[in-house]
């Protein structure tokens, strides 16, 4: 019996992974190329002029930010696009008819999103090797923030994919929430270089803590303590997970 449940869950996870892997050129290679272009342009323009945390070259500072940004955006894209496509084409019923629980449903979609995020993140890290000399001071922090960040955006993607009835609603969610929050999170700069007001604003943006904590794993220093970041990020994840699970349990927009 439990064996059967495990197979059900694993099949949904496998299907969700296969779905992006089959079009990996678009879902993994394209975002890696995107990040590489950012890296080339920004580092060329700024590398000689800017250092961060005293002596960290700008390009080195930038890479973890780009890795995390790509990871987060792709984790979101995975669950949200899969769900809205299934809803619009109607094939969502194939996962609603089987004996899968809403928890298994949630876990499969979020873990697949995390995996896509990790693939893209690793890709960005790999292509940046020739350009920067990047230390990894505390790999455990890197991994922890990559996982929780992916899970948060994967959950947000589930929420957005279920809530949106049309692709442009989803695009709105992405353009007016996800993009600004990532762009203003310190991907491209240390918030200490900002005026005080903008520093304060950054501190209410959970994405800031994801990226700052992630960066700590590389340099061993960051704008705020990694423990604070871990706390904020964990609370965010728990709140989102509870919200998403509540939506799924009610069958919101999935079971009429």
Partner 1 sequence: MTCPALRIVSATKRYGTLQALAGVDLEVAQGEFFGLLGPNGAGKTTLISALSGLVRPDGGIFEVMGHNVVTDYRNARRKLGVVPQELVFDPFFSVRELLRIQSGYFGIRGNDDWIDEILANLDLTAKAGANMRMLSGGMKRRVLVAQALVHRPPVIVLDEPTAGVDVELRQGLWQFIRKLNRDGHTIVLTTHYLEEAEALCGRIAMLKAGRVVALDTTENLLRRFASHALRVRLERPENASALGATLSDSGWAEFALERYEDVEPALARLREAGGRILEMRLGEADLERVFVEVMNRA
DSSP string, 36-97: HHHHHHHHHHHTTT-EETTTEEHHHHHHHHHHHHHHHHHHHHHHHHHHHHHHHHSTTHHHHS
Structure tokens given for 118 = 């990790």
The distance of closest approach from Cβ of residue 18 to partner 1 in the complex, given in angstroms and rounded to an integer, is 8
Q: Of 73-81, 87-95, 138-146, 156-164, which segment contacts partner 1 by CB under 8 A? A: 87-95
* Interaction mask 42-81, partner 1, x per CB under 8 A: ----------------------------------------
Decide: is 121 part of the binding site for partner 1 (CB under 8 A). Answer: no
Contact by Cβ (8 Å): 75, 150: yes
User: Which CB, 12 or 134, lies closer to partner 1?
Assistant: 12
Decide: is 89 part of the binding site for partner 1 (CB under 8 A). Answer: yes
Helix, strand, coil percentages, rounded to 5, for the chain:
75, 0, 20
Decide: is 14 part of the binding site for partner 1 (CB under 8 A). Answer: yes
Decide: is 161 part of the binding site for partner 1 (CB under 8 A). Answer: no
Contact by Cβ (8 Å): 148, 237: yes
In this chain, which of 101, 169, 175, 193 binds partner 1, going by CB under 8 A?
101
Angle at 230 between CA 224 and CA 232, to 5 degrees: 85
Judged on CB neighbours under 10 Å (0-12, 13-18, 19+), 22 is exposed
Decide: is 26 part of the binding site for partner 1 (CB under 8 A). Answer: no
Q: Of 3-11, 35-43, 116-124, 127-135, which segment contacts partner 1 by CB under 8 A? A: 3-11
In this chain, which of 22, 48, 103, 166 binds partner 1, going by CB under 8 A?
22
Binding site for partner 1 (CB under 8 A): 3-8, 10-12, 14-15, 18-19, 22, 86, 89-91, 93-101, 251, 255-256
């Amino acid at each position: 019996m439990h064996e059967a449940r495990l197979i059900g869950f694993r099949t949904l996870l496998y299907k969700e992974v296969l779905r992006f892997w089959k079009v990996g050129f678009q879902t993994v290679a394209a975002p890696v190329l995107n990040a590489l272009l950012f890296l080339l342009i920004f580092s060329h323009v700024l590398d000689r002029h800017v250092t961060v945390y005293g002596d960290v070259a700008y390009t080195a500072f930038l890479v973890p930010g780009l890795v995390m940004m790509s990871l987060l955006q792709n984790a979101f894209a995975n669950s949200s696009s899969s769900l809205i496509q299934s809803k619009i084409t109607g094939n969502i019923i194939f996962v609603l008819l089987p004996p899968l629980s809403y928890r298994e449903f949630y876990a499969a979609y979020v873990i697949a999103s995390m995996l896509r995020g990790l693939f893209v993140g690793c890709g960005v890290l790999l292509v940046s090797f020739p350009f920067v000399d990047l230390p990894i001071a505390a790999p455990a922090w890197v991994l922890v923030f990559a996982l929780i960040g992916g899970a948060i955006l994967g959950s947000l993607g589930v929420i957005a994919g279920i809530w949106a009835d049309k692709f442009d609603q989803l695009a709105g969610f992405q353009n007016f929430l996800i993009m600004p929050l990532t762009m203003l999170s310190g991907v491209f700069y240390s918030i200490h270089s900002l005026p005080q007001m903008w520093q304060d604003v950054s501190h209410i943006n959970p994405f800031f803590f994801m990226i700052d904590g992630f960066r700590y794993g590389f340099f061993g220093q960051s704008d705020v303590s990694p423990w604070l970041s871990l706390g904020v990020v964990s609370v965010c994840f728990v709140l989102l997970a509870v919200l998403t699970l509540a939506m799924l349990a009610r069958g919101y927009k999935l079971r009429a």
